[in-house]
Amino acid sequence: MTLTQGLESAAPAAGIEACRIIDLPRVDSPRGSLTFVEANGHVPFAVERVYYLYDVPGGASRGAHAHRTLEQLLIAASGSFDVAVSDGRHERTFSLNRSYYGLYLPRMIWRDLVNFSSGSVCLVLASRHYDESDYIRDHDEYLQAVLEGARESGASQGRASRARARPRGAGQGWPPS
């Protein structure tokens, strides 16, 4: 069985369905538009770091990694780009081209940022400070981590269901021999 075949029944910490576009507030006026992001309001995590990508050469890509614990919100502050995401089983591509849309990426989602328009700026809000050990940069290592996470999740769910199925008062020596 290949690693990809083993993932058919595996699920990461949050599946691809957890990746979603978040509509950010937009205030329009004849003088221009304003979009804002407030802590503990518009983002489903506490923001600890903000950075941005810019001057990405035509045809270049960014990302190509996953994070073990970090969550992110990606915003096309200017221009446009696509974000291809994968949970190890399913893939989806989001096109970001409005500065009032943010793409939420939970932990353990592989991402590739591609198709940057000229002059685009990708603003990133992150749930943690930079930590190189949080990155998974090798795709095969990522698939293995997803598979192991699913095994651990399945084992803990199995233990929980066996504990619920045990009769009241059951302890060591149950069932009686």
Asked if residue 4 belongs to a domain, the reply is: no
Residue 62 structural domain: 13-153
CA distance 64 to 69: 16
Model pLDDT for residues 73-121, shown as the tens digit of each residue: 999 999 999 999 999 999 999 999 999 999 999 999 999 999 999 999 9
* CATH value at residue 145: 2.60.120.10
Model pLDDT for residues 29-52, shown as the tens digit of each residue: 999 999 999 877 899 999 999 999
Asked if residue 100 belongs to a domain, the reply is: yes
pTM of the model: 0.78
Helix/strand/coil percentages in the chain, nearest 5 = 25, 35, 45
Q: How many domains does the chain have?
A: 1
Asked if residue 37 belongs to a domain, the reply is: yes
Asked if residue 1 belongs to a domain, the reply is: no
- Please give the positions annotated as active site: 65
Asked if residue 21 belongs to a domain, the reply is: yes
